[in-house]
Amino acid sequence: MLASNQKTEHEEVIRKANEHINEQSKGAQEEPFRLNYHFMPPVGWMNDPNGLIHFRGEYHLFYQYYPYKSIWGPMHWGHAKSKDLIHWTHLPVALAPSEEYDKGEEGGYGVWSGSAVQADGKLVLFYTGHVDGRAPVEVQCMAESADGVVFKKHPANPVIGKAPDGARFGFRDPKVWKQGDSWYMVVGSGQDGKGQALLYRSATLTEWEYMGVAAESDGTKGDMWECPDLFPLGDKHVLAISPMNMNGAKNWLMVGEMDYETGKFKPEYEARLDEGFDFYAAQTLLDDKGRRIVIAWMDMWGSKLISEERGWYGAMTLPRELVLTPQGTVVSRPIRELEALREAHWISESLLLQDGEIRCWNQPDGNPLEIIAWLSKGDDEKVSVVFNLSSSEDDREKTTVAYSFRDRILTVDRSESGIGDGGVNRIVLPESSSSEVKLHMFLDRSSLEIFVNDGEKVITNRIYPGDDSRTFKVTATGGKAKVTLEGWELGNIWN
Ligand code: FRU
């Protein structure tokens, strides 16, 4: 029994972490690639968004956090809140490794990914306790808070003490929601080379009944489904996953029917949620306006720039609203609140670009820029419109966004973007884009997010251009094209 003034192990680990963050954050702010209007940790390493929730009128974002170095380590949960999903206030670390089910001596351990719900007025978190070398390695745990800031791990932990039946590849990342009178939880796993979403049901939040495999890979969708999120959207359900070892995709979305009696999810339509290189561990929340909002880790495991030297690592994507279309597909749209960031405005209407003609603009300091471009091909079948973003004077450094009307292929090429990873995204747009296309681009100091045709496709990439690569150019090749551009410089949320 602890004396009333004695700190628990959990409180002590959190105190230490917060002290470190307060001391070290200032240094990390100097790093040249910090973003202007995206969420980032104050210092240290961040990966998955966790525990997204709209609680008592505010949005809460928790995240996989290692405050001590800018590389992955024993996981804590960082925490921030916001009234508009854009301007964030950092809060004290919410969870840290402290118990035998989430703390180890070495190797991987800690408070791994999970989710949040509101129950009996409290903010309740679910997470995976992971301890390499312990048997079992992964268990599901719970923590609660009355004020939404200070969290206590539940005495009933682990609330799910082992994975169901047979040998499994992973058992983690619980996402909890309420449907009717019951609580449900999906947990990411894999068996016999197939990724799976396991389903549990509960009346109490502390006792969970295993209902079975809600959905699994058909053999082509990876061997472990990290961070599953199963939620209603319109009159359907959506299952979003982060598949490990899937060919050609690091994120995947399925739209279908959920049967809560049998516990089975039947997909009817599938696609990538984002076509870029830096979109992982997406998680959604439902807000008081009824919007289903998704945020993902805007980075990727194995990226070239991960290093201890940078002082910080990891950013979140812009929040996007998910909408089910009448055709049963899902579009992702930048949330309306982002318009509040708009400052200096310009518009160039109906530019008729001749073959080879180049138009140039300067990017503001740090590249916080939103550009909406409407492209149309006129009579020239073979024309492409090419944007060089964050390009250097000699054009050697640039990120290219090109659309070819003839084959309806949109290409985002970051192989000459700067010091980060290279790679090309090549996306075929639908028939409806054969003569016109709309690109809505958000450029920040080290990121580029492109929403195509109001969210039909989204392409998210980190790019790391030098400080002098501050020109933005547009040109037509192979014929004439009509281009209308509207743009804004965007404000800095961290000032
Ligand atoms: C996904 C993930 C999760 C895990 C967490 C650990 O990026 O691997 O499956 O819970 O990160 O930090």
pLDDT computed for residue 165 by the predictor: 85
Hey, what amino acid is at 477? T
Residue 77 CB–ligand 1 contact under 6 Å? no
Per residue in 228-246, pLDDT (tens digit) is 999 999 999 999 999 999 9
- Mean of the pLDDT values across residues 311-328? 98
Residue 138 CB–ligand 1 contact under 6 Å? no
By most ligand atoms within 8 Å of CB, the mutation choice from 66, 226, 250, 251 for ligand 1 is 226
pLDDT at 1 over 60: no
d(CA 209, CA 202): 6
Q: How far is the CA of 70 from the centre of ligand 1 (A)?
A: 16
- Mean of the pLDDT values across residues 421-426? 98
- Nearest-10 Cα torsion for 122, 128, 129, 133: 170
Residue 48 CB–ligand 1 contact under 6 Å? yes
The DSSP secondary-structure symbol of 316 reads B
pLDDT at 378 over 90: no
Question: Considering the chain, what is the average pLDDT of its residues?
Answer: 96
- Mean of the pLDDT values across residues 339-347? 97
Ligand 1, residue 113: give the atom nearest the CA: 10
Q: How far is the CA of 15 from the centre of ligand 1 (A)?
A: 24
Ligand 1, atom 9, lies closest to the CA of 226
pLDDT computed for residue 16 by the predictor: 98
* Percent of the chain scoring above 70 in pLDDT: 99
* Length, in residues, of the chain: 495
> Strands 436-444 and 369-376: what pairing?
antiparallel
pLDDT computed for residue 382 by the predictor: 92
Residue 125 CB–ligand 1 contact under 6 Å? no
d(CA 17, CA 96): 9
Ligand 1, residue 128: give the atom nearest the CA: 10
- Mean of the pLDDT values across residues 79-107? 97
Domains defined for the chain, CATH in brackets: 9-334 (2.115.10.20), 341-490 (2.60.120.560)
Residue 281 CB–ligand 1 contact under 6 Å? yes
pLDDT computed for residue 379 by the predictor: 80
Cβ atoms 65, 41 nearer than 8 A? yes
d(CA 293, CA 299): 19
Ligand 1, residue 75: give the atom nearest the CA: 12
Q: How far is the CA of 251 from the centre of ligand 1 (A)?
A: 13
Residue 226 CB–ligand 1 contact under 6 Å? yes
Buried b (16+ CB within 10 A) or exposed e, 439-469: bbbbbbbbbbbbbbbebbbbbbbbbbbeeeb
pLDDT computed for residue 166 by the predictor: 77
- Mean of the pLDDT values across residues 339-355? 95
pLDDT at 186 over 90: yes
pLDDT computed for residue 210 by the predictor: 98
Q: How far is the CA of 111 from the centre of ligand 1 (A)?
A: 10
pLDDT at 116 over 60: yes
Per residue in 6-30, pLDDT (tens digit) is 899 999 999 999 999 999 999 899 9
pLDDT at 127 over 80: yes
Residue 172 CB–ligand 1 contact under 6 Å? yes
pLDDT computed for residue 2 by the predictor: 55
- Mean of the pLDDT values across residues 305-316? 95
pLDDT computed for residue 3 by the predictor: 61
- Mean of the pLDDT values across residues 347-354? 93
Cβ atoms 20, 68 nearer than 8 A? yes
Q: How far is the CA of 57 from the centre of ligand 1 (A)?
A: 28
Is 48 an annotated catalytic residue?
yes
pLDDT computed for residue 439 by the predictor: 98
* Percent of the chain scoring above 90 in pLDDT: 95
pLDDT computed for residue 4 by the predictor: 64
At 10, is the secondary structure helix, strand, or coil?
A: helix
By most ligand atoms within 8 Å of CB, the mutation choice from 113, 223, 251 for ligand 1 is 113
The predicted model scores a pTM of 0.98
Residue 50 confidence class, pLDDT cut points 50, 70, 90:
very high
Q: How far is the CA of 226 from the centre of ligand 1 (A)?
A: 7
d(CA 285, CA 367): 29
Could you tell me if residue 187 is left (phi over 0), alpha (psi between -120 and 50 degrees) or otherwise beta? beta
